[in-house]
Amino acid sequence: MPELPEVTTMVKGLRKTVLKSAVLDIWCDSKKNIKTPSFAKFKKGILKAKIEKIERKGKLILFYLNNNKVLIVHPKMSGHFLYGSWERIEDKWVSKSKGALSDPMNRFIHLMFFMNNGKMLAFSDLRKFARIELWDEKDLKKADMVKNIGPDALKISFQEFEEILRNKRKIKQVLMDQKLIAGIGNIYSDEILFFARVNPFRTADSLKKQEKERIYKGIKEILEKGVKLAGSSISDFRKIDGKRGGFQDITKAYHQKECSKCKGKIKREKIGGRTTNFCEKCQK
């Protein structure tokens, strides 16, 4: 699932390619992903609208249009944007030149925006779980996806973080709860807790001051490193040019078999239905 570093990477790519461009036409073969409003109204609200601003809010991407509407995209499990030129041949999108579609993970295109600069913005989503909505900007705070988001993981103060940790749930679950802290998911929570040497099964309210400080430091350092490396492409995430990010090459816990510190086995257990990777010896 795209987390804060992957969504930030998408936003950076979108700003370089489609900012200040207008949408001339839209193609879609998975209208169920357009949750608000109906597809007909969605298309009417976007056509000929110019993209004035692109922002990240938690794991969401917000496109602010010059007609006072806001396009919200939640990539969910496998969504990512691609920028280029394609043509539709026998029910498939085909690259006009060698490019992103040479990677199988980029071939699940279900939404295409035709831009006024002659290029196209595609949304590839293997699992088709993405949620896409169009709102009037004045009503944006009413959107459930927006109003239920907690403070941003890279902007939260230590005082706010301490308050959130007055929680009896497991620390892994607290870090991943988007209503409490926005932007952290399965990959980065594992890496943050490994960095902090804290067992993911510990309850948040059991943590000592020093442990809280290490986790807080880990949030900033790990997420910033993820952004610098353009996210993680362990699964299906790709950058807007179709290429892979680099964070998967430096993970210490997630998808690892051996602990880089003690050389012991990295355990894999479920917490809240999510596979959790940790070292039982190094993380107390």
Domain ranges of the chain: 4-147, 158-278
158-278 CATH, one of 3.40.50.720, 3.20.20.80, 2.60.120.20, 1.10.8.50: 1.10.8.50
Q: What percent of the chain has pLDDT over 70?
A: 100
64, containing H or E segment: strand 60-65
Q: What is the pLDDT of residues 56-68, one digit of tens each?
A: 999 999 999 999 9
* Stated pTM of the model: 0.96
Does pLDDT of 95 surpass 90? no
Query: What pLDDT is stored for residue 99 in this prediction?
Result: 80
Catalytically annotated residues: 2-3, 59, 274
Task: Tell me the backbone φ, ψ of residue 276, rounded to 5 degrees.
Answer: -120, 130
pLDDT band at 96 (very low <50, low <70, confident <90, very high): confident
Q: What would the pLDDT profile of 14-44 be if each residue is shown by its tens digit? A: 999 999 999 999 999 999 999 999 999 999 9
More confident residue, 101 or 204: 204
State residue 194's pLDDT score.
98
State which fold the 4-147 domain adopts: N-terminal domain of MutM-like DNA repair proteins (3.20.190)
Give me the pLDDT at residue 98, please: 75
Residue 254 has pLDDT above 90, yes or no: yes
Residue 195, pLDDT > 90, answer yes
Average pLDDT, the chain: 96
| 130-186 pLDDT, tens digit each | 999 999 999 999 999 999 999 999 999 999 999 999 999 999 999 999 999 999 999
Contacts 24+ apart (CB under 8 A), 136-143: 136/68, 136/69, 136/70, 137/64, 137/68, 137/69, 137/70, 138/68, 140/70, 143/36, 143/72
